[in-house]
């Protein structure tokens, strides 16, 4: 399955626009990770634990979006947008949205 943030695919013709598809993931962070991230904030640097959690959420949301597109008969998703939101303390949401299409 081709996934792109662009609205067209170079060298491919979109033959059918099927529907908007999305994948939503809500994840909790744990207390140890929060504590270590707080220390990182104080001394500076990157928080590897949070970066890996964001990457995990992104991959899960994209996978869910692909599965929904595949169920519609799509072989690509164009115009993909990723959103990251904090819901409340220790909870984050990742949303992947795009247009399921059939290309030839």
pLDDT of res. 54: 82
Q: What is the mean pLDDT of each successive set of 10 residues along the chain, which is 104 residues long?
A: 96 97 86 52 60 86 98 98 84 94 96
CATH assignment of 1-101, among 3.40.190.10, 3.40.718.10, 1.10.760.10, 3.30.110.70:
3.30.110.70
pLDDT of res. 80: 98
pLDDT of res. 32: 44
Enumerate the domain spans of the chain: 1-101
Long-range contacts of 9-15 (CB under 8 A, 24+ apart): 9/76, 9/78, 9/103, 12/76, 12/103, 12/104, 13/103, 13/104, 14/76, 14/78, 14/101, 14/102, 14/103, 15/101, 15/102, 15/103, 15/104
pLDDT of res. 37: 54
pTM, entire model = 0.80
């Amino acid at each position: 399955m081709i996934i792109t943030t662009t609205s067209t695919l170079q060298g491919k013709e979109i033959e059918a626009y099927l529907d908007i598809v999305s994948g939503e993931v809500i994840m909790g962070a744990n207390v140890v990770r929060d504590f270590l991230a707080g220390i990182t904030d104080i001394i500076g640097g990157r928080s590897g634990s949070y970066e890996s959690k964001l990457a995990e959420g992104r991959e899960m949301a994209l996978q869910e979006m692909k599965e929904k597109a595949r169920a519609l008969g799509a072989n690509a998703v164009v115009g993909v947008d990723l959103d990251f939101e904090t819901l409340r303390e220790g909870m984050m949401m990742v949303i992947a949205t795009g247009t399921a299409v059939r290309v030839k």
